[in-house]
């Protein structure tokens, strides 16, 4: 069972997340030749203030 985990900032719509899950599932089924019902997708939404790049939190003003 392939499991795809994506971490992303909070704030996307349900429609955007559903489209992403569908496209990821399609890519995995095509690449690995597995049935659609074998693919699982986890969208791990993270608040901006809990994410940093180059030592700076995204939720903070510079």
Given this model, what pLDDT does residue 59 score?
A: 76
15: phi then psi, degrees, rounded to nearest 5: -65, -45
Is it the case that residue 54 has pLDDT exceeding 80? yes
Rounded to two decimals, what is the model's pTM?
A: 0.85
Between CA 62 and CA 7 the distance in angstroms is 23
User: Residue 56 forms beta bridges with which residues?
Assistant: 53
Reported as a single tens digit per residue, the pLDDT across 4-46 is 999 999 999 999 999 999 999 999 999 999 999 999 999 999 9
Cβ partners under 8 Å of residue 37, min gap 6: none
Q: Which residue has the higher pLDDT, 42 or 54?
A: 42
Judge contact between 4 and 42, C-beta under 8 A. Answer: yes
Pairing of strands 56-57, 52-53: antiparallel
> Could you give the residue numbers annotated as active site?
2
Given this model, what pLDDT does residue 36 score?
A: 97
User: Residue 40 forms beta bridges with which residues?
Assistant: 3
């Amino acid at each position: 069972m392939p499991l795809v985990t994506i971490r992303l900032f909070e704030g996307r719509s349900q429609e955007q997340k559903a489209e992403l899950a569908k496209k990821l599932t399609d890519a995995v089924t095509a690449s690995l030749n597995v049935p659609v019902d074998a693919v699982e997708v986890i969208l791990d939404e993270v608040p901006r203030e809990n994410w940093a790049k180059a030592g700076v939190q995204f939720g903070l003003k510079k």
